[in-house]
Structure 1
Amino acid sequence: MRRWSAVIVLGLTIFMTTVDMSIVTLALPAMGQTFRQTDEAMSAVLLSYLIPSTLLLIPSGLVVTRWQPLPTFLGAIGGFAGASVLCALAPSFELLLIGRALQGTIGALLGTQGLPVVAAVIKPQERGRAMGILGAMGPLGAITGPGIGGLLLSTWGWPVIFLINVPVSLLAAGLALYSLRRVTLSTTRVSGLDQMRSLLGQRRFLAVSLTLLAFSSASGALSYLLPFALQDIHHLNSALAGLTLLVPSLGMAVMGPLGGYLVDRCGVRLLMPVGWMVTLLGLLALLLVIATPTSVFNLDWRLLLIGLGNSVAYIPLLTLLMSVGPRSTLGSASALSGVTRQLGFTCGPLLVSVLWSWQIAASSAERMRSSMLLLIGLVLVGFISTLIAVRGLSSSQLSIPDSAKEPASSGQL
């Protein structure tokens, strides 16, 4: 029971930070009015969080296996709550940006710690279900965030979107005191450079990382081009387009726990390629209608299929990623995966933008078709790298290897 409480508390932090990002985006106009800032200046509120949360992923990964999980988590969750209060009570725009930067700094530590702790405390035969829960929290936060944010903003105003993090953080801290108090990740003191060199020297880790890069690039590219397709070609209003954009996240949130169960029953070697094939079918189906007006339902079932396929591929990917190296490298593996994911989310829209810049004279329909072909190419790269990653993989290789100085029970509850 205690080990699943650890999964819940770490999943709760993923949900909280995802909801926080979507709510803050929704509240930017109201904050701009309060501080008398232009819409362009308010983008700094997002960047002041995103920049440190991305740049500090590697340093965070290097320390999470060297520090005890419970005090690290309590310090991070307490710091995130304190930074949220600073944002809510900020008397000036500058202090708001400082609070957001502190949130991003601590968010990097929270985001990096989740996967290693869960991989350590959950038995190998149950790890898929645990990763399924974690994998569903981000999409679930993306779905519920706008609704929660709209209710809070209309009732109490923008400061409450930060203050709501305080009771959630207190709940997470209470659960952590129960579930993480005897957890350790590593008893060795391996340098961060040696940890990363150990991981990057393994063919399987490189193949899994390439799969993750292809996955996040395709996801980022799809998120970038869909709003243009829905409004310029399918002529949906903003509200309906917004709901349609949430359909892939809905598919991932629904399939996450079930996908985790299937990983434990069917294995990573089978499920990862199947997930990519489902995603590929969804993209091919979307290619047929992306460039011509059609009904919302005709779009939604294709987007739902893509989301379901993404989840089926992503959960075993996380499971394998956290099983490649020894326990001492769990933090580095989590940090490297976070950087790879962020790089993909950046590269995907960039690739679409570059493609469109080459098609200045092309129509919107032609641009959408070429963009979809680009996404299909990325998915094919992910599928091929998946086949390399799972080649020769046995179920015994999904247990985290322990060195002679790291007893196998060091992370168990």
Structure 2
Amino acid sequence: MCSSLEVGGMERNRWWPVIGCGLVVFMATLDTSIVAVALPAVERDFGARTAATQWAVLGYLIPLVALSLPAGRWLDRGGPRAALVLATGGFTLSSLAAGLAPHLAVLVAARVVQGAFAAVLFALIPLVSMRAVRPELAGRASALVMTLGPLGAVSGPALGGPIVQSWGWPWIFYINVPAGLLVIAIALASLDRDALGRPDRTFAGEALLLGAAATALLLALSLAAGRGPGWLLVAVAAVPALAGWWRTRASGPVRDLMRVPPAAGPVAAIMLNALVISLVEFLAPFYLQRVLHLSPTATSATVLAMPAAMVAAGPVGGLLGDRWGTARTAAAGTAVTALGVLLLVPVGSGLHASGLAWRLAIAGAGTGLFAGPGFAMLMAHAPPRLHGTAGAAQSLARQLGFALGPASATLAWAASGYAMTGMRTAFAVAAAAGLAALVALAAPRLAGRLRRGGHADAVRDHEPVRSP
């Protein structure tokens, strides 16, 4: 896989594949959140029950979680051009099928297929973007792509509402079609011809085990808003499937990756960062409308401070990562995110919308600083034979964080009877997760310095971490 994108001896960088990867990761991540806004319209048009329409969301997330790691192992042996064309084409066609769906069952089936191809895209895109440019520009390339992942997740509610209101819910899927065709054109024009082999015989079994675990976990999280411990029983059902998968040979590459502390730390930090921003993005509109009594329009304008700051800080993070070092920049980004959320903990009814907006902007800027360098740090420390697995692992970690954030907010808020104290508790949970992300990044480096006396790491810390 390295041959078609090897740039060590190239005289120029290939930025068009990076741009294409950024576009497709934004669209695929956007589809994890934008559909929730359209569910009331889907329910009305199809005459379906609310409990049934939630499968339009779960139908996308379950294959996305189940296939991320198997797809990563598959891509460790495949070619990027063929895989990118196949996955983008499948995602585009299934998006079109979802928009044209005449019944809810067809919509859910299209969403399942869409999620399966999205899993391949999330595992593949890091490989393409990191190897399309020379190592000294890896931080900026990864920042361009990885900042758009969280941006897509938090932009769903803001973009979904106007689209559904103006054009109808099918258009949240139709907008993927021109973007997908553009990415396919970029792949065909800018990447070298290659081939993609078939998945090995363990692919289906691994996907079934991870799919069973994902179904139990996501169903439990969807039930977490209710009172009582029933959702915990559903979550426990994921344990046997995960234990069975952990004992299989297919999990070997993941175990190997997690045994490399400098690679395991960024994976944990990526999951925790996704938890933080999704928790805040979920809870902030409730605070603005129920506590400050803002209109939906004013609420959307205020919440947009977080994704706007992400976009602004993303290129800065990439530049700092290349010049100052990815480890330092990623740590600085997690610290800034934690600071922004810590400032949300004491909020009360007397806060003005602008006071919330600048706090959200700090949290968003931290995520923008962290996203690219955090991923570049992971890929720099992952063994080359596990690059596909590393890309899949960070994708899976991010999706789990996006699922855990709203569930954590709901649990903390519901425990107080949906009072202001519960909101503060939820923001405190987010702040603790942000600090834990900083610890996850720092712990492997501190341990390495203790083992080696600190000299080797101190020298390397003054140099940008190079992509393999």
Q: In the alignment, does 2:256 pair up with 1:201?
A: no
Deviating more after overlay: 251-260 vs 269-278: 269-278
User: Amino acid of the residue matched to residue 73 of structure 1?
Assistant: L
Q: Is the 8 A contact 2:63 2:116 kept in 1?
A: yes
8 Å Cα contact 2:306-2:360 kept in structure 1: yes
Q: Is the Cα contact below 8 Å between 1:143 and 1:249 reproduced in 2?
A: yes
Is 1:263 matched up with 2:321?
A: yes
Pairwise CA distance, 1:251: 1.0
Comparing 31-40 with 386-395, greater Cα deviation is found at 386-395
Q: CA, structure 1 residues 364+150, in 2 after alignment: closer, same or farther (shift >3 Å)? A: closer
What is the deviation of 1:333?
0.7
Q: State the one-letter code of the partner of 2:311.
A: A
Alignment correspondent of 2:387: 330
Shift of 1:397: 8.5
In structure 2, distance between residues paired with 1:119 and 1:207: 19
Partner residue in 2 for 1:316: 373
1:2 to partner: Cα distance: 5.6
Q: Which residue of 2 aligns with 1:373?
A: 428
Q: Distance in 2 between matches of 1:192 and 1:324?
A: 21
Q: Is the 8 A contact 1:120 1:327 kept in 2?
A: no
CA separation of 1:33 and 1:334: change in aligned 2, threshold 3 A = same
CA RMSD of aligned residues (A): 2.8
Within-5 A mapping of 1:325-404: 325-356=382-413, 358-360=415-417, 364-391=419-446, 392=457, 394=460, 398-401=465-468
Q: Flag structure 2 segments of 5+ consecutive residues without an equivalent.
A: 1-11, 201-248, 447-456
Structure 1 unaligned regions, length at least 5: 402-413
1:32 aligns with 2:38: no
Question: Which piece of structure 1 moves more, 81-90 or 262-271?
Answer: 81-90
> Contact 2:302–2:354 at 8 Å: present in 1 too?
no
Structure 1 residue 326 displacement after superposition: 2.1
Q: CA deviation at 1:150?
A: 5.4
TM-score w.r.t. length of structure 2 = 0.76
Give the letter aligned to residue 104 of structure 2: F
Relative to structure 1, is the Cα distance of residues 286 and 147 closer, same or farther in structure 2, using a 3 angstrom cutoff? closer
**Cα gap change, 1:212/1:81 in structure 2, threshold over 3 Å: closer, same or farther?**
closer
* Cα distance change of structure 1 residues 398 and 72 upon mapping to structure 2, 3 Å threshold: same
Structure 1 Cα separation of the partners of residues 411 and 42 of structure 2: 33
- The one-character-per-residue Cα deviations of 1:269-302 (angstroms, maximum 9, x if unpaired) are 32122223322332233234x2233211111111
4 and 151 in structure 1: CA distance in 2 versus 1, 3 angstrom threshold:
same
Aligned length: 395
Contact 1:321 / 1:333 at 8 angstroms: preserved in 2?
Answer: yes
What percentage of aligned pairs have identical amino acids? Answer: 32
Q: Which of these residues, 274, 277, 280, is aligned with residue 216 of structure 1?
A: 274
Q: Per-residue displacement from partner, 1:208-239 (whole Å, max 9, x unpaired)?
A: 22322322222233233323322232222233
Stretch of structure 1 that moved more, 337-346 or 100-109: 337-346
The CA distance in 2 between the partners of 1:48 and 1:81, in whole Å, is 16
Instruction: Give the equivalent residue in structure 2 for 1:14.
Output: 25
Paired AA for residue 437 in structure 2: G
Question: Does residue 122 of structure 2 align to residue 125 of structure 1?
Answer: no
Distance (Å, rounded) in 2 between the aligned partners of 1:23 and 1:284 = 27
Change (3 A) 1:216 1:150: closer
The 1:211–1:90 alpha-carbon spacing in structure 2 relative to 1, beyond 3 Å, is closer
3-state DSSP of counterpart to 1:323: helix
Single out whichever of 218-227 and 322-331 deviates more from structure 2: 218-227
**C-alpha distance in 2, partners of 1:297/1:151?**
23
The residue aligned with 2:241 is none
Give the secondary structure class of the aligned counterpart of 1:322. Answer: helix
Does structure 2 retain, via aligned residues, the 8 Å contact 1:209–1:337? yes
Matches within 5 A, 1:72-221: 72-141=83-152, 149=160, 152-153=163-164, 156-181=167-192, 193-221=251-279
Shift of 1:185: 11
- Asked if the contact 2:154–2:307 (Cα under 8 Å) also holds between the matched residues in 1, the reply is yes
* 1: CA distance, partners of 2:170 / 2:181: 18
Q: Which residue of 1 aligns with 2:295?
A: 237
Give the structure, 1 or 2, with the largest relative contact order (CA under 8 Å, sep 6 or more): 1
State the alpha-carbon separation in 1 of the partners of residues 299 and 367 from structure 2.
Answer: 21
Using the alignment, how far apart are the partners of 1:349 and 1:144 within structure 2? 15
Query: Which residue of 270, 276, 284 corresponds with 1:226?
Result: 284
1:406 is aligned to: none
- 1: distance between equivalents of 2:278 and 2:30? 18
Shift of 1:324: 1.2
AA at the equivalent of 2:92: A
The residue type paired with residue 364 of structure 1 is: A
CA distance in 2, matches of 1:173, 1:137: 19
